Amino acid sequence: MSIICELKGISKFYNKKAVLSNVNLQLEKGKIYGFIGRNGAGKTTTMRIITGLARPDKGTLIIDGISDEKNIIEKRKKIGCIIETPALYLDMTAKQNLKSMCILHGVSLNVISELLDLVGLSNEGRKRVRHFSLGMKQRLGIGMALVNNPEFLILDEPINGLDPDGIVEVRYLIKNICETRKTTILISSHILSELYQMVDNYILINKGEIIEMLTHEELNKKTQKYVLIKSDKTKKIREIIEKQLKIKDFEIVNDDTVKIYNSENKVLEIMNIFASMGIEPSAISVSEDSLEEYFFKRIGK
């Protein structure tokens, strides 16, 4: 297991209020990590600390095995990032923006056309970035973060505000980067269904504390399966579930939906009992918690 970035007991305070409390994280090389948390949970602050835009008040940051401040500056060359919004030179073209990054990193200008192709902006010619759509700006931001061929890419809400087409484009781009370049990616987003399609590992953060780290497989195991029943006779269904099926782990949602947990192998039995009691549900299916529902359960909402 090769670690690209490690946070050991990192805490950060703003006006004596803890924004991050004793955060411990280990990010392995070549994986995509989804960073999930509500607004103000500490995602961006964690990313800012990793990139050197903010300093931790406690704890140690280790990048590629290096933790001392002087050498970590050198190690940060291996990081590419978009924090909050892509920082672009609005009066320059996409090509000029990438050229500025090549100058900064001392990279050959030959990478520009390759990156423009990768982010799908090779046909934008002399159009200034000011006139780009949000999706194009996000893609250019990712392109700029890739100029120095980083080993570690940090993307803070890269799909925020994008239309469905833009979201799909960015999703494919991120997957492509990870597959072709073996880049470690830490990505935060509030669109959890999108994260679910992209990432290998999840980091759940709430009120400045990491509440859980789990892999995609672990999440799938942990998300509860349930029998979903749609009917307007929920009172009668409740009685049947409690008295005849003797199941306690269920809930009624929105007055017309019943979720019976951990009973996916009892669907036939449930349907038979309902039929004998004269109940005809409008729908019955086996389903499971989404990442969103799992997250809300974990943060106790």
Partner 1 sequence: MGRLIKLECYKLLKDRLFWTIILLIILINSVMFAGQDISIDSLAQKMFLTIVIVSLYGTSFIAKDYEEKKIIYEILSGNSKTKILFAKILITALGIQIQLLVFPIVIGFINNKFTDENLKIFLVIYFWLGIFLSFLATMMANIFKSQGLSIGCAIVFHLITLLSVNSSSVGFIMAHILPVGMIKLVLNNYVTLNQYTVTLIVWDLVLLILALICVKKSEF
Binding stretches for partner 1 (CB under 8 A): 48, 51-55, 73-74, 76-77, 79-81, 83-85, 87-89, 91-92, 96, 99-101, 103-106, 144, 148
Integer Cα distance of 214 and 200 in angstroms: 9
Neighbours of 13 (CB within 10 A): 14
In terms of DSSP bridges, do strands 201-206 and 32-36 run parallel, antiparallel, or are they unpaired?
parallel
Smallest separation, CB 81 to partner 1 (Å): 7
CB 59 within 8 A of CB 23: yes
Q: Considering the complex, state which of residue 86 and residue 281 has its C-beta at the smaller distance from partner 1.
A: 86
Q: Considering the complex, state which of residue 38 and residue 105 has its C-beta at the smaller distance from partner 1.
A: 105
Smallest separation, CB 152 to partner 1 (Å): 10
Neighbours of 214 (CB within 10 A): 16
Smallest separation, CB 233 to partner 1 (Å): 56
Q: Considering the complex, state which of residue 175 and residue 181 has its C-beta at the smaller distance from partner 1.
A: 181
Smallest separation, CB 77 to partner 1 (Å): 4
Burial classification of residue 109, based on how many CB atoms lie within 10 Å of its CB (0-12 exposed, 13-18 middle, 19 or more buried): exposed
Smallest separation, CB 266 to partner 1 (Å): 54
Q: Considering the complex, state which of residue 54 and residue 245 has its C-beta at the smaller distance from partner 1.
A: 54
Q: Considering the complex, state which of residue 105 and residue 225 has its C-beta at the smaller distance from partner 1.
A: 105
Smallest separation, CB 30 to partner 1 (Å): 20
Give whole-number Cα distances, 182 to 76, 81, 132, 266, in Å. 17, 16, 29, 44
Integer Cα distance of 146 and 101 in angstroms: 9
Q: Considering the complex, state which of residue 17 and residue 235 has its C-beta at the smaller distance from partner 1.
A: 17
Smallest separation, CB 29 to partner 1 (Å): 18
Q: Considering the complex, state which of residue 107 and residue 284 has its C-beta at the smaller distance from partner 1.
A: 107
Integer Cα distance of 95 and 82 in angstroms: 18
